């Protein structure tokens, strides 16, 4: 399984990576949409439900020998137990998880946040909201406990990022 973490453009890079690897794409926002159909995402309990669902889907993909799954996520330190659980499950099943952190300059981030592709998954789509998130939350961190490929994609297309990931991890 490949997990893309970090700045906006993950979804676009993930789509390109799926095309060139034949891996399945599992957007983190799919789990959020699924859970929010019944529970409020503002409720702390909904995060727990969302992660249980994501873990189960990833576990089933491994069990049924999926060639690979690309999971997109903005990592923050609250996600350690979720990430460690996935690592443990995949290890027991003979799989592994490969981490990629994408980041870009702040100005480029503000340009990307208004991209219309973000609407499909009800993502943050205004510079004002993004500024609030960046100021208040511990987002866009790098995993402290697992080797991570880090790519500055400020001036790279999603296609070029995907190619770098594929080459680095020999996918």
Q: How confident is the model over 141-160, as pLDDT tens digits? A: 666 667 889 999 899 999 99
- pLDDT band (50, 70, 90) for residue 126: low
The pLDDT, as a whole number, for residue 23 is 93
What is the tens place of the pLDDT at every residue in 75-111?
Answer: 766 778 888 888 899 889 888 889 888 888 877 777 7
Convert the pLDDT of each residue in 23-46 to its tens digit.
999 888 788 888 888 988 778 788
What does the block give as tokens for 65?
A: 């020998």
What's the number of CA atoms in the CB half-sphere (13 Å) around residue 96? 7
Go through the chain and tell me how many residues it has. 171
Question: Would you tell me which CATH number, out of the four given (3.40.50.300, 3.40.50.720, 3.30.1390.10, 3.40.190.10), belongs to the domain 2-169?
Answer: 3.40.50.300
3-state SS record for 108-160:
HHHHHCCCHHHHHHCCCCCHHHHHHHHHHCCCCCCCCCCCEEEEECCCCCHHH
- pTM recorded for the entire structure: 0.78
Closest CA to 13 of 98, 58, 71: 71
């Amino acid at each position: 399984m490949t997990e893309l973490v970090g700045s906006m453009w993950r979804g676009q890079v993930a789509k390109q990576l799926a095309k060139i690897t034949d891996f399945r794409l599992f957007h983190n926002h799919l789990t959020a949409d699924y859970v929010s159909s019944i529970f409020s995402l503002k409720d702390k309990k909904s995060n727990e439900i969302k992660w249980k669902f994501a873990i189960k889907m990833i576990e089933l993909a491994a069990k049924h020998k999926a060639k690979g799954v690309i999971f997109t996520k903005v990592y923050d330190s609250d996600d350690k137990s979720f990430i460690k659980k996935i690592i443990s499950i995949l290890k027991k099943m003979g799989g592994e998880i490969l981490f990629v952190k994408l980041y870009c300059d702040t100005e480029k981030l503000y340009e990307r946040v208004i991209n219309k592709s973000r609407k499909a998954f009800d993502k943050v789509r205004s510079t004002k909201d993004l500024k609030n998130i960046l100021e208040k939350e511990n987002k866009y961190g790098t995993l402290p406990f697992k080797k991570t490929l880090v790519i500055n994609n400020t001036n790279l297309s999603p296609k070029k990022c995907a190619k770098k990931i594929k080459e680095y991890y020999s996918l």
